[in-house]
Amino acid sequence: MTALAHETLEAVMPKVATPPSDLDDVLWQAWKAMELPEGYHAEIVEEFIEVSPTGRYSHGRITNRLRRALDKFLDAGEFAAHQDINVVHKRKVWIPDLLIALEHAEEHVTEDGLGIQASAVMLIAEVVSPGKDSLERDRERKRRAYARAGIPVYLIIDDYDGHGTVSLLTGPVPGEARYASEVRMPYGTEVIVPEGPAKGFAIGADITGPLLDQA
Q: Is the pLDDT of residue 5 over 80?
A: no
- Which pLDDT value is given to residue 214? 58
The residue with greater pLDDT, 120 or 11, is 120
In SS3 terms, the chain reads as CCHHHHHHHHHHHHHCCCCCCCHHHHHHHHHHHCCCCCCEEEEEECCEEEEEECCCHHHHHHHHHHHHHHHHHHCCCCEEEECCCCEEECCEEECCCEEEEECCCHHHECCCCCCEEHHHCCEEEEECCCCHHHHHHHHHHHHHHHHHCCCCEEEEEECCCCCCEEEEEEEEEHHHCEEEEEEEEECCCCEECCCCCCCCCEECHHHHCCCCCCC
Q: How many alpha carbons fall within 13 Å on the CB side of residue 118?
A: 22
- Which pLDDT value is given to residue 1? 42
For 45-58, b/e burial (b = at least 16 CB within 10 A) is: beebbbbbeebeee
What amino acid occupies position 115? G
Beta-bridged to residue 65, according to DSSP, are none
pLDDT tens digit string along 139-193? 999 999 999 999 999 999 999 999 999 999 999 999 999 999 999 999 999 999 9
Q: State mean pLDDT over 3-32.
A: 61
